[in-house]
Amino acid sequence: MHKNQLVFFPLLSVLLLTLAGCIGGTTSPSQFYMLEPISDLEHKEPVGAAKIPVIILASVRIPHYVDRPQIIIATSKNAYQLSELNRWAEALDYNISRVLAQNLTLLVPAEVGFSNTSTTVEQANFRVSVNILEFHADPQGQANLTAQWSITRGDSVLENRHVSYRAPASTSDYRIIVEALNECLSRLSRDLAVELKSNLQ
């Protein structure tokens, strides 16, 4: 047998075994998650005859480390892991902005618009800005949301707060992690709504 043939057959066997493994193996499908607003079944604020306030959600910023499709968790001090198989179903900053707007619409209640919509700043009773600093599950299986937010009316700053929320989550179950982060966002929404209502009086 020719020397080249002796080399060729073992290589061919390896390639065939590799191909068989690729065909026979299965890859887990990606899972996609979204944050959801508070249900009107969870909270129903009676609406009187008075005109409801107009709120402009001026900006919602998220840190760059979570501004990606993959969900991020902390694995130890200074160490983070992103999951290719567990992803946000839409851009996270848009998802958070939309949920906050829906929550405030229900909780205040109010007409909530964005600074790039037809609702102008002149029409608004309040402007709300939210800067999220942390949004992940930690190595102890706790969801963390840390944020700075402000409420302004015209040129006056009415409230300016630094807040942190924690909720029991998981270190590996991404469905539970997302639900816990969602709970933190709901608590932020409720606290914002309380401050907005107190400034209406």
pLDDT at residue 7, as a whole number: 47
Q: How many residues does the chain have?
A: 201
Which of the residues in the chain have pLDDT under 50?
5-8, 14, 24, 49
Q: Which of 156, 168, 38, 172 is nearest to 108 (CA)?
A: 38
pLDDT at residue 46, as a whole number: 56
Within the chain, where are the H helices? 3-24, 92-107, 174-200
Q: How many CA atoms lie within 13 A of 174 on its CB side?
A: 18
pLDDT at residue 8, as a whole number: 46
pLDDT at residue 51, as a whole number: 81
Q: Give the pair of three-digit tokens for residue 169.
A: 């989550």
Whole-model pTM: value is: 0.83
Cα separation, 115 vs 125, in Å, equals 13
pLDDT at residue 97, as a whole number: 97
pLDDT at residue 15, as a whole number: 54
pLDDT at residue 183, as a whole number: 98
CATH superfamily label, 51-200: ABC-type transport auxiliary lipoprotein component (3.40.50.10610)
pLDDT at residue 1, as a whole number: 54
pLDDT at residue 24, as a whole number: 47
